[in-house]
Chains A and B, each alone.
Chain A
Amino acid sequence: MLVPLSWLKEYVEIDIPAKELEKKLFSCGFEVEELTEVGKDIDKVVVGLVEECEPIPETHLHVCKVNAGEHGTFQVCCGADNVCAGGKFPLALVGASVYATAKDHKTVEGLMTIKKGKLRGYDSEGMLCSGVELGVSEDLYPGAGYNGLLVLPEDAVPGADVKPILGLDDYIFDISITANRPDCQSILGIAREVAAVLDKELKEPSYEYTTTPVAGKSFRVTVDAVDLCPRYIGHYVSDIKIGESPAWMKRRLALVGIGSISNIVDITNYVMKELGQPMHAFDCDFLQGSEINVRRAAEGEKIVTLDEQEYTLNPSNLVICDGVKPVALAGVMGGLNSEIRETTKEVFFESAKFARDSIRKTARALGKHSDASARYEKGVDEYSTVYGMKRALHLIEELGCGTVSDIHLDVNCGNSIEPKEMKVSIERVNRVLGIDVPVEDILHIMKNLNFQPAVNGDELTLQVPAYREDMESYPDVAEEVIRMYGYEHVQGTFLPDSQVTVGGLNSRQQRELSLKRALCGVGAYECIHYSFFSPKDLDLLRLPADAPERNAIQLINPINEDLSLMRTLLAPSMLNAIARNQKKGNLEGRLYELGSAFIPKALPLTEYPDEKATLCIGIFGKKENFYDLKGICETVADNLFLSFTYEAGRKTFLHPYQTAVIKCNGEEVGYLGKVAYEVAEELDLREDAYIAEIDLAKLDAMNRGKATFTPLSKFPEEIRDIALVMDKAITCGQVEEVIGKACQYVKSIKLFDVYEGEQIPADKKSMAFKLRFVPGEEPFEGDAVDKFVKKILKNLKFHLDIDMRS
């Protein structure tokens, strides 16, 4: 929120520099996001008295002798039509910084530094300035809007800095207000805090006005939707004289970024900024039936707002109506039909409290935001609703722009704006803080914050102002105390009264970390990808319409379609990561991600979905192949003390003949394979990629082996190599299975050679295995191992028609 220093000074004496005040505000909970001097870009511009002014023949220019007091007297050429001898104007000295303007003399085109120059043969040392060149608008300083020189007051002293004269030495605080302090969304609200922190009196603005009875006029206000409008105050004002606002009001509004429109409209804006109460003024000529009705809009009802936009409404929108039609979208914007015009003679003022949620929903649903709606969304208290109206009526009187009638209508739910009593234990407050703040300090702080404290032993009695709706109990008091007393008093302690607890990762978390480290050990880098993905990602995988992976949880309000589904598998994120890497020239690499896949039990969600811990591995580059990835999968199995088996499988996005299903204890737990060429092409992959995805949640639930020790056999092991000839279709896995089942002493089977070619029939291949036989309790007797081999060969012949290679 923008707060001008000069405006703050209206309510509280500030005797410290703006920078100091920024620090004080910061330490009591009001972070100043930006502190700007109004004339921060303007430098070395002083009051110049034009002593002589001669026209330069055949030009519109004048050559002037300008007296700049202590800085000297300078010859300056000037093209403005209002330059004249005896006038006082802002003089930018050589080296000064002012705004540069376009040829129209109105559009600012950055900054410029004044240099010595020569115009039509005349030396010019400095520049006489317009309002635009100094960044001063008509609203900020009367007369500054003239397209010529800015005329300074007669009492200005030549050579004096113009900044204080034009208010350019003022400061604007841009303060961020936390959500619990809507009462500080106003200049007065901030002034209260400043008064408290500086230990000064708060000077409230005047709320006085006198009413004049009017005869023959009556108004009726009814509120149908009390839940959305707990308070509505209306007041009738006659004899309106629409005109300009006084300079001080225009200036203040301009400093907070609001342009002056007319005195009546300006008063509503002024009260909103000053007290935080949005106001509205209806032109009574256009209110039919002398009646205001606050109700929910009918389905399909229409309104045209002040900015000439038409909206179609529904019952979740609150409208202000006259006897016939909606005249305002409550808390958001007035209707065009009852707008204040030059001809307005009578006004019905509105000061109301609307439910913040309702205004927020309406503003968002219609995409219609205004200063008023922004203010209502943060929450308005009834204290400002009551005082806002008083203040507006006072300003009507002060500006002399209308007659305040005695027609005052107030519909309320009985909420009081009197302070509420609250009792807290001082010991309790200190127990939150962990320090003992002296009672006198607590009393002083609470008094400064307008809580009218009284103390009786340990009991502190407070009168909570109605605008402090955030105050509930002792922790809130503790916060008020410490933010004013100073957080530097809080000294670190280390849970002196706390019980000892045992910390650290649980076993599942440890396993996860160990798995990640093992994957790093095989050269893979961990990635983290978004938990959401795109419907396009499912299409990329060529999943059929009824694939379970398409049954994804949808975000109601995604940022965009690409981030609109909760991912049901991790593969697409990995594929995209590989594609991004290859695009950037990283043509080989290993990546993995450990994240959740989101599997709904029902859609739309009626219960928590399954968040399935999943591992996805992606490898790519010339050096990589299917078996490299399979090796990594084996690393995973080893790390988890499990063993995997692999069977040829199919995935719509993987190579039809280089894909395997991973099984563990007979259950399918994942897949691995080469990325299909059509998918690779769609992703513009330059190098082949392989991916695997493993259901860690399932594995986690499985009985895992333990790290146990089997004593080494006392008897020697034996090794046999066997070379076999078989049909090309037979897989290594099939052979291994038969061998494993044929002999219990075979402890390892290692394929060491595969051959196809001239030495064997064309439809056959040869595979050679190294078998390791490990004896049990007894040593192998005589030709025992040869007998095992014979049995193995027999079984291979029987089951798979495999022969020994001759």
Chain B
Amino acid sequence: MNDRLASIKQEILEGIEKSATSRATAFELRKQFLDSKTGKIGQLMKEMKSIAPEERAAFGKGVNELKEWAQQRFADLDEKMKARELQRRYEAEKIDVTMPASKIETGNLHPITQMKNQLIDVFAGMGFEVFEGTEIENDYYNFTALNTPQDHPARDMQDTFYLSPEFLLRTQTSAGQIHVMEEKKPPIKILSPGKVFRSDDDATHSPMFHQMEGLVVDKKITLCDLKGLLDMFVKKIFGEGTTTRLRPSYFPFTEPSVEVDVSCFECGGKGCKLCKGTGWIEILGAGIVNKNVLENCGIDSDEYSGLAFGIGIERVAMLKYGINNIKLLFESDLRVLNQIDDNE
């Protein structure tokens, strides 16, 4: 009796050893022993009737133990086969991960747009709205209202493209200041980005470029406020360690007027190629809004004062990204455009 159980056990062990190579063969093997109708262990159960009653209990127990044992073996075998097959499948699907990616190409915003957005982000947080004026302006808004009457020396500072005796391509985004001040009452805090035009075309000048004008008009605006705003701006754009230096300059629409230099973010002010050894880089013009300009817009200069600054976006972008030629920005060469992806 026990011999039969032992021999089936042996048979199962040999079968697993020899013929089980996959889940399918393992299943076939299992059926030989554990199929409820035809399996060898099932057959043993049927023999129960012919066993002497006093031996039945022991026999039954023995068969049940064998069955449980076999079920466990085959379950383990199945697990093993499953793992082996999975492994084979994985191996069959081995790839060369160094082969080229199938990439979904995304484009970039233009470097000028990227720079513009960064500037807007810095100033929007300080309460500046964005006002975009028109590229075609009339003489009054571009010059006269900005304290630059017809025979003023400053008209020579900028070579203007004229479209008619009255209309011209704006030479500065400051033109937008006047429109805003005519319509809004202080407090005014605006940024005015846009294209501007000057009759200049050489290696470092483009007849069209971009400026961003900033204007604050409120009570008690001072030169110290201008300095504070600009310090904040350069820190956000060029890094925490940068500072500004103001020095006297002249613009007809501001008085006092200043040229603003930023400490060289490349060398930290020690002097390098970028800053031509001076430690400082000229970055923008600014000043306290000329009281004539306020009055031209019907703002009482006894009550209010203002500050204004004009940033050359190309200049900042070229400095920040190391672009060496302004013309590259307008040629749309994909090899240029796909290099600059500043995650703002």
Contact = CB atoms under 8 A, between A and B. Distances in A.
Interface of A: 26-29, 31, 178-182, 355-357, 360, 377-379, 431-435, 473, 475-476, 478-479, 482-483, 487, 490-506, 509, 513, 516-517, 519-532, 553-559, 563, 566, 577, 580-581, 584, 586, 589-592, 596, 598, 604-606, 608-609, 611
Contacts of B246: 487, 490
Contact of A513 (B105, B117, B219, B337): B117
B162 interface: yes
Interface string B152-190: 111011000111101101000000000000000001110
Interface stretch (B32-40, B92-100, B253-261): B253-261
B25 interface: no
A566 B136 contact: yes
A522 B104 CA distance: 8
Contacts of B154: 179-180
Interface stretch (B64-72, B83-91, B121-129, B265-273): B121-129
Given A492-B228, A493-B228, A584 B333 contact: yes
B331 interface: yes
A508 to B, nearest CB: 9
A67 B222 CA distance: 66
Given A478-B256, A513-B117, A501 B187 contact: yes
A611 B134 contact: yes
Contact of B106 (A360, A523, A577, A608): A523
B276 to A, nearest CB: 12
28 contacts: A179-B153, A180-B153, A180-B154, A182-B153, A434-B223, A435-B222, A476-B255, A478-B288, A479-B257, A487-B245, A491-B224, A493-B227, A494-B228, A495-B229, A498-B187, A498-B218, A498-B220, A505-B130, A513-B117, A520-B108, A528-B330, A566-B163, A577-B332, A580-B333, A584-B335, A591-B334, A592-B107, A604-B164
A609 B151 CA distance: 27
A501 B127 contact: yes
Contacts of B227: 490-493
Nearest to A357: B151
Interface centre among A360, A502, A528 (most CB of B within 10 A): A528
Binding site of B, secondary structure by majority: helix, strand, loop or mixed? mixed
A504 B129 contact: yes
A128 to B, nearest CB: 37
A504 B199 contact: no
B199 A557 contact: yes
B247 A26 contact: yes
Contact of B110 (A29, A505, A526, A532): A526
A377 B157 CA distance: 12
Contacts of B189: 501, 503
A241 B135 CA distance: 61
Interface centre among B154, B216, B224 (most CB of A within 10 A): B224
Contacts of A181: 250
B107 A432 contact: no
Nearest to A180: B250
B10 interface: no
Contacts of B334: 525, 581, 586, 589, 591
B249 interface: yes
B7 interface: no
Contact of B136 (A178, A478, A503, A609): A609
B332 A580 contact: yes
A584 B333 CA distance: 8
A557 B167 CA distance: 12
Interface in B196-231: 197, 199, 201, 207-208, 216, 218-225, 227-231
Nearest to B105: A523
B81 interface: no
A523 B256 contact: no
A356 B164 contact: no
Contacts of B169: 531, 555
A380 to B, nearest CB: 11
A445 to B, nearest CB: 13
A516 B109 contact: yes
Contacts of B245: 487
A495 B126 CA distance: 10
B256 A608 contact: no
